[in-house]
Amino acid sequence: MKAVGVDLGGSHVMAAVVDDDGAIKQRAEHEVVDRAFESVAKTVGDAIREVLEGKLKDVAIGVGSPGNVDLATGAIRYSPNFGWHDAPLGQSLRENLGLPVFIGNDARCATLGEHTFGTGRGTANFVLITLGTGIGGGIVAEGNLLLGNAGGAGELGHHQVRATDGFICGCGKIGCFEAQASGTGLLRHAFAVGSSFPRSQLVAGKPEKLGSKAIRRAAESGEPHALAAWNRYIDDLSRGLANIIAFVNPELIALGGGVASAGDFMLNAVRPKVDELTTMVPRGQTKIVEASLGNDAGAIGAATMARRGGLTTKEAS
Ligand SMILES: [Zn+2]
């Protein structure tokens, strides 16, 4: 059966026809202009119709959406990104398209994609962490994606790594992994150490234009202000990774998202610090690498969910 995977984000929708080997054969992208539920559901339907060229037959649909998902019905229980509560996304798409539709959390779908077809392929215990505006991720334990009691397992961004001296997190706590180690966290570190570098132009007068990549590149070139921010960032990232290793003891952690494209510059700094902070499980047993599917992981994982009939093999059986 043909499968379409949809990556639903706050600003755009990407629908892709994905083959059995996880390769994207065709894609359609639509902008999200209005975040009201009916409008977004229509945009998702339009993107699916476009990528299928109107041929709505013998195909299963998987959608990765932000928020907590009722996996049985495909309703979004709540999504802070969209401001939705109990939004019946699965039902709406089934009625619109007349096709089987499966909905999963976007980060869990990306984890399934990366585990099935990316760097995690062949591993039994695997973690994906995406370092973007926030931190998303997912956990594969004993070969299956961990869903938890209400589909909420894998919210890796909200354990505290600096509970007393950290930045305020979007969730209201202080020093969450996400607040300290996302791309946004790197920017915050650059502002936080700014007063020690009075002559630095790194963050001067243009906070809205400054991206985490600019700071990372400046750090790579040895610029002192950026390097100080980067070192603090690496400390906090390593603390979070060591915590996750203690929770999950995975054989592999893949880092995705904008900041992780730093590759070896990041990985070579993080690996020894994580080892230092790993105390209760054997050190050096978790490989930390860059994720391989990039922004396509979500759509590929959503298509895998559609083909399988759920996020895990247990659901499908
Ligand atoms: Zn938080």
Q: How far is the CA of 162 from the centre of ligand 1 (A)?
A: 11
Per-residue pLDDT of the chain in tens (317 residues, 90 and over written 9)? 899 999 999 899 999 999 999 999 999 999 999 999 999 999 999 999 999 999 999 999 999 999 999 999 999 999 988 999 999 999 999 999 999 999 999 999 999 999 999 999 999 999 999 998 899 999 999 999 999 988 889 989 999 999 999 999 988 999 999 999 999 999 999 999 999 999 888 887 666 667 888 899 999 999 999 999 999 999 999 999 999 999 999 999 999 988 888 899 999 999 999 999 999 888 889 999 999 999 999 999 999 999 999 998 766 54
> Which of 140-173 are b and which e, b meaning 16 or more Cβ less than 10 Å from the residue's Cβ?
beeebbbbeeebebbbbbbbbbbeeebbebeeee
Torsion, Cα 137 301 268 188, to 10 degrees, reads -40
Contacts of 240 (CB under 8 A, 6+ apart): 156, 159, 161, 177, 180, 181
Give ion ligand 1 contacts, CB < 5 A: 158, 169, 171, 173, 176
- Please work out, in degrees rounded to the nearest 5, the angle formed at the alpha carbon of residue 1 by the alpha carbons of 63 and 150: 35
Q: What angle do CA 219, 225, 229 make, to 5 degrees?
A: 70
Centre of ligand 1 from the C-alpha of residue 25, in Å: 37
Ligand 1 centroid to Cα of residue 123, in Å, is: 29
Rounded to the nearest whole angstrom, what is the distance from the C-alpha of residue 176 to the centroid of ligand 1? 5
Q: Does domain 119-292 bear CATH number 3.30.420.40?
A: yes
User: What is the CA(157)–ligand 1 centre distance, in A?
Assistant: 6
Contacts of 91 (CB under 8 A, 6+ apart): 73, 74, 75
Determine the CATH number of domain 2-105+296-316: 3.30.420.40
Q: What's the CA-to-centroid distance between 171 and ligand 1, angstroms?
A: 4
For residue 134, report the distance from its CA to the centre of ligand 1, in Å: 9
Q: State the distance from the centre of ligand 1 to the C-alpha of 128, rounded, in angstroms.
A: 18
Tell me the pairing of strands 12-18 and 2-8: antiparallel
Strand pairing class (252-256; 287-290): parallel
SS3 state at 109 = helix
List CB contacts of 204: < 8 A, sequence separation 6 or more. Answer: none
Distance from the CA of 15 to the center of ligand 1, in angstroms? 30
Domains 2-105+296-316 and 119-292 share a fold: yes
Q: What is the pLDDT of residue 152?
A: 83
Separation between Cα atoms, residue 124 and residue 217, nearest integer Å: 34
State the burial class of residue 215 (Cβ atoms within 10 Å of its Cβ: 0-12, 13-18, 19+).
buried
The three-point CA angle 231-233-234 to 5° equals 65
Instruction: For residue 237, report the distance from its CA to the centre of ligand 1, in Å.
Output: 14
> Which secondary structure element, helix H or strand E, spans residue 114, and what is its range?
helix 106-117
182/197 Cα distance (integer angstroms) = 23
Give the distance (Å) from ligand 1 centre to CA of residue 125: 25
Q: How far is the CA of 175 from the centre of ligand 1 (A)?
A: 7
Q: What is the pLDDT of residue 315?
A: 61
Residue 267 C-alpha to ligand 1 middle, in angstroms? 24
Looking at residue 226, what DSSP letter applies? H
Q: Where are the domains of the chain?
A: 2-105+296-316, 119-292
Is residue 297 packed enough to be buried (19+ CB in 10 Å), middle (13-18) or exposed (0-12)?
Answer: buried
What's the gap in Å between 177 CA and the centre of ligand 1? 7
Q: Tell me, in angstroms, the distance from the centre of ligand 1 to residue 168's CA.
A: 8
Whole-model pTM? 0.93
How many whole angstroms separate alpha carbon 42 and alpha carbon 45? 5
Give pairs for 82-86: CB < 8 Å, separation 24+: 82/10, 82/35, 82/37, 82/40, 83/35, 84/37
User: What local confidence, expressed as pLDDT, does residue 151 receive?
Assistant: 81
